[in-house]
Structure 1
Amino acid sequence: MSAPQSDLRWVSVIAPCRNEAGHIAAFCDSALAQVLPPGWQMEVLVADGCSDDGTRELLVARSTADARLQWVDNPGRIVSTGLNACIARARGEVIVRLDIHTRFAPDYVARCIETLARTSADNVGGPWVAEGTGPMGRAVAAAFQCRWVVGGARSRDTRYDGAVDTVYLGCWPRAVFERIGGFDEALVRNQDDEHNLRLRLAGGRIWQSPQIHSLYHPRNSLRHLFAQQRQYGYWRPFVMRKHGQPGSARQLVPAAFVAALALFALCVPWTVLPLAALLALYAVYVGWASVSAAHGAGQWGLLARLPVVIAAYHLAYGLGTWRGLWDVLRDRAPSTQFARITR
């Protein structure tokens, strides 16, 4: 026999969104189809950031049809304010974050709950696995998954089971937010990395389990990828200013590469050798990374696109980091140019 409703434990699924009319129905279907462990019940809270494309109307209709789904107003319109608005309304002793552009296995929430119980960690999640659409989208996904492109980040390793410095999305005991607070609403991007860094500095543990499955849909054009990565890079110095350190050293490598390019370019009137040597070394690196990414994806047809995709990842992130650092050093408020989500 099933447990009485009053004896069931609550898990709250939260997700921010804005102008996602083309994706919100599939997301709601995926979230509401989660199969929970015995003794648990679920609520799904979606924070709408003042959508003007019909997303809110679709959410209202779905929440009317299914009491498990609630829409939450997010006048701040960014991810961090939306997440905090959901957490403030959530009833669950466990909070699970989902993403509108990600497909989740039916046991995603159940696996998160099980991993929390097994590890006693403060935040758990699965590997960040990308699934692209179209030739360019598949190339972006292949590069995204390659350790030679992302600095060996364990979050992209589909087999890794253990402690990590950050994890995709996240699942927390509610007590974590009561202890260290919610997401930093001054950050348009990197609010998850900052929260994980804050959690680690407070003595918390973050755990990645390969049993937690999802598929993320990355950008499917070079222009959108460049804009996204430049924005990610821009907000990195603001996280560093807050804590006096980056989330990890690998996050500084693209900025160092851009700085070296600029420095050696200044030498061109006297000698082209330093710049030529750096470009030659980077070309070899990109060539190796492209082969590795194509091999890992099992799609050799992507090989022609991968070098420019990989360069876009690195250059955009590095340029964005320097722009953010420039604003931080001048003690300026974050630029509105980087305050709009680029999806």
Structure 2
Amino acid sequence: MTTVSFVMPVRNEEEYIRASLQSLVDQSYPSDECEIIVVDGRSSDRTREIIEEIRDRNPRVRSLDNPAGIVPTAMNIGIRAARGEVIIRADGHNVYPRDYATNCVRYLEETGADNVGGPWVTVAADESLSARLVATALTSSFGVGNSKFRTSREEGFVDTVPFGAFRKEIFDHVGMYNEKLVRNQDNELNARIRKAGGRIYLTPALTTHYHPVRNLLGLLKYAFKTSKWHIFTLRENRESMGLRHMAPAMFLILLLLLLPVSLVSATALVFLIGILCAYILTGFYFSLSAKTEGNWDVALVQPFATFCFHIAYGAGTLFGLRYLFRQPSVTPIRPGLPIRKKAK
């Protein structure tokens, strides 16, 4: 039977780590064929204490130290220590269904893909308006564009999936995680897989529940940092980013150009007002069409929250442009990655 290694990088995740790690311990996959490696980035909260508590009751759980404290380094530490033939990238913010490992192995075999993953169901951290606005912003196609793992429940080959499950041998072909990338390392790795001739498969059978930040300030910080690192990732691998990642920056540039001109030009002022009205109306259309019972407050405020999200995202992109002028690192890719056939 195929052996499996979950690798979970964590740092200061005391709020979610117990539920996340327990969902891996409770997997239906045969326990003697499945290990769980938690790589802690020297947490300063109770994360390590909780990990050790669960580890002491479950011999399948191993904990490793990550002095660098960042995700790609943690993943590389875990992958090198892993005994499994399949590496499943786990996350301390996610809760996994019991058949997750089983389905990862199944879809790797049935589709012939080199990486399989599923969509996120983004769960509000609590019932506050702020937390629900965050969750809605990260699942609306108006908020995040055509990010299929956030907005779609369709199945098929895609450009990227969040995290994912890989055959361990894939890293011999495309290299390990890029340790220069504090964020977006999954996108960049998937771009290398595609460049090597590999394929990536998204299926709702691998759906997980993800807990984002709980307030709008946290969302804006997330947007700024993520988009800033998108530019760094673009410098490292130009195939890892799409046009949708640049759209908020182009929107912000347009506003910044129109604002001063509108002070002296009535035409520019009308154009600016028209753009903002069109944006808000489009936001209302998406928020009202996605409304669920009891969430009218979210539907009415969402366009303004999404506007702030896009502005923060665009600002991060512009701030990150300086990375484009630095020399990129080069991760060697071994050509000729075998294209696997679907299992009969």
Q: Same fold (TM over 0.5)?
A: yes
**Corresponding position of 1:9:** 2
| Cα shift at 1:142 | 1.6
Q: Deviations over 1:215-266 (max 9, x none)?
A: 1112221100000010011011111112234521111111111111122224
Q: 1:285 to 1:67 in 2, by over 3 A?
A: same
| Cα shift at 1:280 | 2.8
| Matches of 2:42 and 2:119, distance apart in 1 | 31
Larger relative contact order, structure 1 or 2 (CA cutoff 8 Å, min sep 6)? 2
| Cα shift at 1:25 | 1.6
Q: Deviations over 1:25-50 (max 9, x none)?
A: 212211101112x6972101111001
**Corresponding position of 1:20:** 13
The answer to whether the Cα contact below 8 Å between 2:191 and 2:239 also exists between their aligned partners in 1 is: no
| Matches of 1:323 and 1:233, distance apart in 2 | 9
2:318 to 315, 322, 333: 322
The answer to whether the Cα contact below 8 Å between 1:17 and 1:47 also exists between their aligned partners in 2 is: yes
The answer to whether the Cα contact below 8 Å between 1:136 and 1:220 also exists between their aligned partners in 2 is: yes
| Matches of 1:66 and 1:222, distance apart in 2 | 37
TM-score by length of 1: 0.88
**Corresponding position of 2:27:** 34
**Corresponding position of 2:196:** 202
| Cα shift at 1:272 | 4.8
The answer to whether the Cα contact below 8 Å between 1:146 and 1:289 also exists between their aligned partners in 2 is: no
**Corresponding position of 1:313:** 309
Q: 1:297 to 1:304 in 2, by over 3 A?
A: closer
Q: Which runs of 5+ in 1 are unaligned?
A: 1-7, 334-343
**Corresponding position of 2:43:** 51
| Cα shift at 1:20 | 1.7
**Corresponding position of 1:337:** none
| Cα shift at 1:284 | 2.4
Q: Deviations over 1:154-180 (max 9, x none)?
A: 222342101111112211111111211
**Corresponding position of 1:277:** 271
2:89 to 90, 97, 115: 97
Q: Deviations over 1:273-327 (max 9, x none)?
A: 3354244324323332344234325133312320222112211111001101034
**Percent identity over paired residues:** 35
Q: Which runs of 5+ in 2 are unaligned?
A: 329-344
Q: Deviations over 1:92-138 (max 9, x none)?
A: 11111111111211112211111111111111111122111222211
The answer to whether the Cα contact below 8 Å between 2:259 and 2:272 also exists between their aligned partners in 1 is: no
Q: Deviations over 1:32-84 (max 9, x none)?
A: 01112x69721011110011213223222322221100111111101111111
Q: 1:107 to 1:323 in 2, by over 3 A?
A: same
| Matches of 1:61 and 1:261, distance apart in 2 | 52
**Corresponding position of 1:5:** none
| Matches of 2:58 and 2:253, distance apart in 1 | 53
TM-score by length of 2: 0.88
| Matches of 1:73 and 1:39, distance apart in 2 | 23
| Matches of 2:135 and 2:159, distance apart in 1 | 22
Amino acid at match of 2:113: A
1:224 counterpart SS class: helix
**Corresponding position of 1:268:** 262
| Matches of 1:166 and 1:320, distance apart in 2 | 22
2:230 counterpart SS class: helix
2:161 to 167, 181, 206: 167
| Cα shift at 1:267 | 1.7
User: Could you tell which deviates more after superposition, 129-138 or 285-294?
Assistant: 285-294
| Matches of 1:80 and 1:265, distance apart in 2 | 40
Q: Is 1:108 matched up with 2:100?
A: yes
Q: List structure 1 runs of 4+ shifted beyond 6 angstroms.
A: none
The answer to whether the Cα contact below 8 Å between 2:28 and 2:99 also exists between their aligned partners in 1 is: yes
**Corresponding position of 1:340:** none
